[in-house]
């Protein structure tokens, strides 16, 4: 489903990712952890080409992502951001229907019906006509997830979806993600919510030193890491 081959990303002289390769199968949930600045966000952003890789190639469903086909391929990849990035100028319902309507994937009636079903699913049907500024952080993130799902993606990318939330709102967002994962969505999740990783992830990547330093089943990697750096990192987040 996702194939990353020799992905390298530089910002000027700064090397953020160096020769990163991995594959993700359909239906897998991958948890990505690692220290700040280790390139987790950059990896996700290269996959849907919000950043242009310096070298290497990325295949989505067997198709190499290029500057030409990126707008089409992005429709099959939803992205959820740390700071939600809901469209401030649009009501909740319009946030969700904007892309399907603009890209002429659905008519208005169908798009709204689809959006309402998604709002139902994230438990926010009654918020359809309010502006994002009136929502709590947890509600914003659930709308953001609904917005990404409205395109009917095969893949969902989550970049620290709960780290900007007050603690009492983390659960409601993780619940939605958990349901998605259980329903067979292919997911890449950058998050330090170890409980979620253990419960939902098939594999866990530990990123450091410009690459995926260690990879394994979450329960194994979390309790019995091989690399010294992974151990140090896990101690620091458990502190």
- Residues forming contacts to Mg ion in the complex (CB under 5 A) are 41
d(CA 142, CA 195): 19
- Piece in contact with other proteins (CB under 8 A), picked from 20-28, 142-150, 195-203, 214-222: 142-150
- The entry of ligand ATP, Mg ion, other proteins, none that residue 125 binds, CB within 5 to 8 Å by partner kind: none
- Tokens describing residue 23: 């594959």
37 binds, among other proteins, ligand ATP, Mg ion, none (CB under 5 to 8 A by kind): ligand ATP
Q: Which helix (H) or strand (E) segment is 177 a member of?
A: helix 167-182
Nearer to other proteins, 132 or 218 (CB): 132
> What CA–CA distances, in Å, run from 107 to 15, 100, 144?
45, 8, 21
Stretch that binds ligand ATP, among 32-40, 95-103, 128-136, 228-236 (CB under 6 A): 32-40
49: contact with ligand ATP by CB under 6 A: no
Contact flag: residue 211 with ligand ATP (CB under 6 A): no
Structure tokens at 151: 């395109």
Instruction: Let me know: does 199 contact 205? Beta carbons within 8 Å.
Output: no
Residue with tokens 């098939």: 202
Q: Which of residues 10-29 bind ligand ATP (CB under 6 A)?
A: 11, 14, 16
42 binds, among Mg ion, ligand ATP, other proteins, none (CB under 5 to 8 A by kind): ligand ATP
Furthest-apart CA atoms within the chain: distance in Å? 55
Which stretch in 17-25, 33-41, 130-138, 168-176 sits in contact with other proteins by CB under 8 A?
Answer: 130-138
Provide the token pair at 24: 């993700």
């Amino acid at each position: 489903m996702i194939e990353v081959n020799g992905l390298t990303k530089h910002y000027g002289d700064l090397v953020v990712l160096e020769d990163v390769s991995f594959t993700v199968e359909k239906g897998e949930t991958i948890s990505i952890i690692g220290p700040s600045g280790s390139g987790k966000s950059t990896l996700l952003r290269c996959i849907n080409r919000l950043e242009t890789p310096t070298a290497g190639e990325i295949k989505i469903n067997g198709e190499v992502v290029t500057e030409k086909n990126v707008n089409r391929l992005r429709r099959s990849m939803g992205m959820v951001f740390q700071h939600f990035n809901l469209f401030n100028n649009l009501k909740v319902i319009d946030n969700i229907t904007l892309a399907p309507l603009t890209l002429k994937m659905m008519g208005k009636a169908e798009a709204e019906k689809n959006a309402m079903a998604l709002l139902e699913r994230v438990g926010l049907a009654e918020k359809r006509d309010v502006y994002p500024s009136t929502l709590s952080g947890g509600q914003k993130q659930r709308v953001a997830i609904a917005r990404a799902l409205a395109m009917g993606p095969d893949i969902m990318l989550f970049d620290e979806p709960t780290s900007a939330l007050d603690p009492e709102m983390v659960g409601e967002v993780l619940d939605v993600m958990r349901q998605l994962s259980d329903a067979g969505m292919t997911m890449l999740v950058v998050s330090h919510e170890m409980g979620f990783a253990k419960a939902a992830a098939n594999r866990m990547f530990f990123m450091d030193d410009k690459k995926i330093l260690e990879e394994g089943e979450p329960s194994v990697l979390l309790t019995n890491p091989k690399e010294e750096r992974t151990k140090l990192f896990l101690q620091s987040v458990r502190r």
